[in-house]
Amino acid sequence: MNKGLQLSQITKYYGEGNNRVAALDHVTISVMPGEFAAVVGPSGSGKSTFLSIAGALLKASEGEVTLNGHPISNLSDKQLSDTRLKEIGFIMQSSNLVPYLNVLDQLLLVKKMSGKVTAEDKKFAIKLLEELGLGTKLKSFPEELSGGEKQRTAIARSLINNPNVILADEPTASLDTKRAHEVVSLIAQEVKLRQKAAIMVTHDERMLAYCDKVYRMEDGRMSLI
């Protein structure tokens, strides 16, 4: 049984009849635990659609998505929602932190969404934040953090439910070069340490050195570089 994330012959159509357009065209990709893959390509090439399907936010028109050995294409909306919460960690372009929650509570909120927060959960959250250099920022609010600290909080939050898959959408978009390298090297480090299957969509080709493999997306088609 293949662990990690597999997309097999994924096609996504928009529109009907003569107006039908393939945003994704028979995309196949496999990312195993401990692997960090990057997807690059111009705007409008299908990267966002690809990430939405990989993250169980959007259903493919054709093909199969397999997460941790389980096909998810035919799951109900409720099952997909549970899958997103338990199996997938998202890191977005802007850190998407809740303005009125401190750094520790940003992580514990995710735990609350999947049940009650235990002492063990709190301990794991603090350990994650310390590991990512945020041990002195547990009680800080987003407005008190630098861009890099916000993204590190977002990385910790993506790992709090111990998901099998991490998906990062342009995680360096709002960062300067030094912070960008810091954030992507931390993602790479956590992926290896915790054996996650990870995909990063990026425009920033300087970040590709941290990745195990790089795919290019062009007109809805994907190829390994």
Rounded to an integer, the average pLDDT of 184-209 is: 95
Q: Is residue 65 part of a domain?
A: no
Q: Which backbone phi and psi does 122 adopt, to 5 degrees?
A: -65, -40
Q: How many structural domains compose the chain?
A: 1
Q: pLDDT at position 93, please? A: 84
* CATH code of the domain containing 212: 3.40.50.300
pLDDT over 90 (residue 95)? no
Question: What pLDDT, on the 0 to 100 scale, is given for residue 33?
Answer: 97
Lowest mean pLDDT among 31-35, 93-97, 207-211: 93-97
- pLDDT for 45 beyond 90: yes
**pLDDT for residue 211 is more than 90:** yes
Q: Is residue 127 part of a domain?
A: yes
Query: How far apart are alpha carbons 97 and 157 in whole angstroms?
Result: 9
Residue 152 lies in a domain: yes
- Mean pLDDT, range 39-59, rounded to an integer: 94
Q: In this model, does residue 52 exceed pLDDT 80?
A: yes
Asked whether residue 16 is assigned to any structural domain, the reply reads: no
Range of the domain at 214: 36-59+75-224
Task: Name the 3-class secondary structure at 66.
Answer: strand
Predicted confidence (pLDDT) per residue in 114-138, tens digit: 888 999 999 999 999 999 999 999 9
Measured between alpha carbons, how far is 112 from 105 in angstroms, rounded to an integer? 10
Query: What local confidence, expressed as pLDDT, does residue 197 receive?
Result: 97
Domain assignment of residue 164, yes or no: yes
Whole-model pTM?
0.94
- Residue 203: pLDDT over 70: yes
Strand partners, 91: 168
Q: Is 106 domain-assigned?
A: yes
pLDDT at 149 over 70: yes
State yes or no: pLDDT of 53 exceeds 80. yes
The answer to whether position 6 is within a domain reads no
H-helix segments, 21-146 = 47-54, 77-87, 103-113, 119-131
